[in-house]
Amino acid sequence: MSDHIDKECAPPAASAENEGRTPLLSASPAVPKKPQEYRLKDIQWRDMRTGAQRNVKIVTQNENGPCPLIALTNVLALSTNLTIASKRTTTDEELLGLLANHLLLRTEPPSAPLSGEVVPAEHDVNAVLSLLPTLSKGLDVDLQFSHIYDFAVTPAFMLFRAFGVDLVHGWVVDPESRVAGILMEECRNSYDGAVEFIFAADEVSGGQVVGNGGGVSQALSDTQSRTVAKAIELNEWMSSNATQLTDCGLHSLGTMLPEGHLCVLFRNNHFSTLYRRGTGELYLLCTDDVVAGDERIVWETLSDVRQNGARFLDSMFRPIGREATEDYVCESSGASEQIDEDYALALRLHEEERGKELQVRQQDRMPPGMDTGSSLYGVPVVTREGEGRLAKAIYRSESDENFSRRMTDAFLPHEAAAAKQKKKPSDSDRCVIC
């Protein structure tokens, strides 16, 4: 299982074997790529170590942004003394250098993972440093379905541990279910094992598991029939939980993560910064660059597996669109709630569009015969039935500045009017030709 951002491949070198053939790719000299830039955003954050309020710069993600690099950097910026340079943008090269320096300055070994996983007492710093560049290309992880902390011990997993950052997921199976037994007995309890098991059964059955049943299959033995039946049941479970978050996993995240804990969440083939605050309250750091210029949007609630009830919050964890009063919850009116819901919906639709673009880019990584919209690998796209007319009108694939301006005009007309009045030129600003 992987979250990859594809890089261009160099054409193969000429050889006697392919002499005289028309090359598929031109062999023009390689041109160094310009470093990808990512916008930075200022947020207010209450330091968990000192209790003091401080300003923190976080990295936002554009459509090609390396989410593991960004998620890890943001966790460290919020939880340690790692400080991102005070400027408007940064690059992946600068972030990798920042992480390398932070790792070299670390003196305390990473804490043992709460799942009981055995971690080496000493890390080979040189090996970890050599792995850092993979953060900007995508990481291969193999999650295990029994626990939020369970991943196969791969270089990618150990990279997070080297920084003392927990990597978690919420694709947890109910231990009392039949599927839990199938995963344990047939699939090594892992995602990769489940995929191998399903495809093997699908091939034997002529496409009865994930295909249309149109393939050629031999008569199945009793053992093979039972295997195919298990594979069908497992595939149905994975399809119904293709957001890579189950109710069991969501409950585990809310109860097993320590209060005030920051970590990296793997979900929807994406790495996000997750914060557990209060009694089981889970929040995702909003890092889409569409809201990089809007300091109101900082956190998003994680309260259900499909994010149908997600709300956007400011840096003080107050719902957007409301005055920062002590009793804003009690005084909120129905109209204010509708504004909040429409605003959140419009932002969520924009994020969904980014998610679909990511699926298209991941298409080449899918096994033969499968696509990003399939029942096993696809992340279900939330339908837009029942969405408000206002949110429909707002939803566009446009620049974040224009998007933010339109959101303000629609949902916060008083602020929009004040901003326009402030920008209105005075007589002294006008150019007079004599």
SS3 276: strand
Residue for token pair 């932002």? 347
The answer to which of 78-82, 243-247, 318-322 has the lowest mean pLDDT is 318-322
Four-CA torsion 390, 391, 392, 398, nearest 10 degrees: 120
Kindly report, residue by residue over 194-229, the tens digit of the pLDDT. 999 999 998 888 888 876 555 545 688 888 899 999
Count of CA atoms in the C-beta half-sphere (13 A) of 334: 0
- Say which residue, 327 or 296, is predicted with more confidence: 296
pLDDT at 434 over 70: no
The answer to which of 253-257, 259-263, 316-320 has the lowest mean pLDDT is 316-320
Mean pLDDT of the chain: 72
What percentage of the chain has pLDDT greater than the value 90?
38
Instruction: Report how far Cα 29 is from the mean position of its chain's Cα atoms.
Output: 35
Q: Where are the alpha helices (DSSP H) in 132-289?
A: 155-162, 178-186, 191-204, 222-240, 247-256
Give the span between the Cα atoms of 349 and 36, in whole angstroms.
25
SS3 100: helix
Structure tokens at 3: 């979250």
Kindly report, residue by residue over 29-62, the tens digit of the pLDDT. 444 556 788 999 999 998 776 788 899 999 999 8
- Say which residue, 155 or 237, is predicted with more confidence: 237
Structure confidence at residue 404 (pLDDT): 52
Q: Is the dihedral of CA 134, 136, 141, 143 positive or negative?
A: positive
CA angle 211, 215, 216 (to 5 degrees): 150
- Say which residue, 127 or 370, is predicted with more confidence: 127
Q: Is the dihedral of CA 401, 407, 409, 412 positive or negative?
A: negative
Do residues 66 and 92 lie in contact, with contact meaning Cβ atoms separated by under 8 Å? yes
Four-CA torsion 404, 405, 408, 414, nearest 10 degrees: 150
Cβ-count burial of 222 within 10 angstroms (0-12 exposed, 13-18 middle, 19+ buried)?
exposed
Helix (H) or strand (E) holding 97: helix 92-105
One-letter amino acid of 31: V
Which phi and psi (to 5°) does residue 129 adopt? Answer: -60, -35
Kindly report, residue by residue over 83-142, the tens digit of the pLDDT. 999 899 999 899 999 999 998 887 555 554 444 443 333 446 778 888 888 888 778 889
Beta bridge partners of 312: 300
Structure confidence at residue 167 (pLDDT): 96
Structure confidence at residue 408 (pLDDT): 54
Q: 64: pLDDT confidence band, cut at 50, 70 and 90? A: low
SS3 347: helix
The answer to which of 198-202, 214-218, 296-300, 376-380 has the lowest mean pLDDT is 376-380
Give the span between the Cα atoms of 231 and 197, in whole angstroms.
7
State mean pLDDT over 70-88. Answer: 93
Which phi and psi (to 5°) does residue 101 adopt? Answer: -65, -40
Q: Is 18 left (phi over 0), alpha (psi -120 to 50) or beta?
A: alpha
Beta strands 167-169 and 261-267 are: parallel
Q: How many helices (H) and strands (E) does the chain have?
A: 13, 11
